[in-house]
Structure 1
Amino acid sequence: MDARYNPQAIESKWQAHWREIGLDRTPELKDGSRKFYALSMFPYPSGNLHMGHVRNYTITDVIARHKRMQGYAVLHPMGWDAFGLPAENAAIDRGIPPAKWTYQNIAQMRDQLQRLGLSYDWEREITTCAPDYYKWTQWIFLQFLQAGLAYQKEAAVNWDPVDQTVLANEQVDAEGRSWRSGALVEKRMLKQWFFKITAYADQLLADLEKLSGWPERVRTMQENWIGQSVGAKVIFKTEAGDELAVFTTRPDTLWGATFMVMSPEHPLVDKLTTAEQLQAVRAYQAQAAARSEIERSAEDREKTGVWTGSYAINPVNQERIPIWIADYVLMGYGTGAIMAVPAHDQRDFEFARKFGLPIKRVVQPPEGSPASADRASGTE
């Protein structure tokens, strides 16, 4: 007998035996069965596993095996995150239909996973591009739509001009390029579907108190992610007669609003830009489109902006205030426009100081605060 480990012989022999006896099949549930669902993120079927896959799926496999040894009825499935434009682009590059390319890759990667000996119940395999799977995602969407929780609106997106697709913020690198194609990412306004998750903000925040044993920093991160803001929607009228809506958590500072700032992608920018300012506004919009939202919203970044040439009327004191565009205002947050109160907001304060805009204090800040010191030095 050869005492050396021969993986080709030993693994194939025992894996065949395990399949024959259904070792990894999800057991029938009985009264009192303890259930455990072991699920890893499904891989995109690129055609080949790499060590990142092996690491990820080995961890879940160890957990699934441990739970089986503890007497749990374990469901440990595998599936394929197979929908999306990357499959189409890869198929175009190779001159073959996307379905053929995708299913070839799935077969290759399934074989690789099986040869690793991972304890999947292959009878529970799913493929997200198969009609018998995505009919249920369509069904779920219709439930959201009928419940009034799905709606359409225009919003700014990251657009890859090479792949002709929308990218998540995480798919745009620090230099504003697509992680896949390397192209400079553009900002575009597109009509798209949204889920009204804000309807559940109160419940989500309240239920954070039920997460006993969770680190406080994690609960704080969850609270910040929910990002609920309580405030008021205020309508400013432009001199041209348009309504410019802003959301503010501090309506008491309306009397200190000395200018307004719109996102470069705001739909009113074109209408409110005067002929004299058109060239400067267009150039600034192009610069903003090349920056990621993370870069634009960085606290330590120097503020930039351009005046549109137009004015709005402050509704509480009828003062005429200029309308600017600046990339620190994001179209995807609030209304895409703000009333700037530089005496009581640090970003607005920095912007006003840079461009020589008025600073009007209406609420006394705490003595000794940085903002109080700046204003006391005669910068108003």
Structure 2
Amino acid sequence: MFAIPLAWLQLIRERIRLIIAVAGIAFAVLLMMMQFGFRDALFEASVRFHETLNADIVLISPESTALIAMKQFPRRRLFQAGGFDGVEAISPLYLDFGLWQNPLDKTTRQLMVIGIDPYANAFTLPGADTWVNTLKLPDYVLFDGDSRLEFGPIPDLFASGEIVTTEVSGRRITVGGIFNMGASFGADGNLITSDLNFLRMFPRRSPGLVDVGLIRVKPGVDAEQLAARMQEVLDNDVLVFTHAQFAEFERTYWENSTAIGFIFTLGALMGFIVGTVIVYQVLYTDVSDHLPEYATLKAMGYKDTYFYGVVMQESLILSCLGYIPGFLVAYAFYGVIQGATSLPVGMTFERALMVFTLTVFMCTLSGAIAMRRVQSADPADIF
């Protein structure tokens, strides 16, 4: 009736074996945590830019596949969209990648440059409504304070009152403010500047071709219905999305059109398989070592179901003992990785619960396989 003490006593009888088993399960938990964490960080970081846009409807070129591979469309399409009933405001947005020169060590690194109308209030980021006085100045930019450290300690320099000047793609610029958006797998850093400053940095870009068109609708207007109506009327050289659809468009690209999501999921699967093999070996060895005792208990009248319960309880105990250190190490690693890469790698309740469920399933699956060994405990071998 009280089988849990027996399962526990069998596990702690061989302490070295128990430690090795717990370490193996913890490693499998850590591997699954890291792979799922990287995958989720990829998807979350990929839509950081999209989520901060102050727009209800977005226009892009049908040739665009993701934020890192945007194609331009005629700006007149945006003006045409502005003529629809229910539209409150429109704003063009320009995107390109420039070479940022670290003002301290003079190394260069690519970042994403975003050109906006200073008066359009194109983002919902904190302080966005105060950017106009800075962005309207020639060759002034706003620097993303959550960019990777390789760009230099720009937020610290700016906070100290120092005038930060450097070059972007060979053009001299001045940092006039700091915002916080964050790096992604496609861009290690971000700059926001006015559309005029953007065109000065990239003189080959035509002002009549934009990367993204932002549209805000009037209160009470159904953005989804208006977007569908725009798509029917406008030429086929633009795609019309709602804000949520634009973010999903980006997420779908990284999830289905690249191998990154598949690789991280495969890595988590490998961790699951490794853990399953380790637990199976431990339980199989434990059952083999206690076959004479099991045979004696069978001769006393105990059924196979009793021994199955003991093995399954050993599996559950191992899953809990291995999960705790794996969770703690993964939690610490998340903090280190987030600080080093500026990616949103953090522990979530959903991921912790999912990995715990996988760990329990991994151990019970191993126990179910190892239980076949219990059937070979024959009392006739003892007497």
Structure scoring higher RCO (CA < 8 A, sep ≥ 6) equals 2
TM-score range, shorter chain: under 0.3
Could you tell me the TM-score, scaled by structure 1's length?
A: 0.22
Greater Cα radius of gyration, structure 1 or 2: 2
TM-score of the superposed pair, with normalisation by structure 2: 0.22
Task: Judging by fraction of residues, say which structure has more helix.
Answer: 2
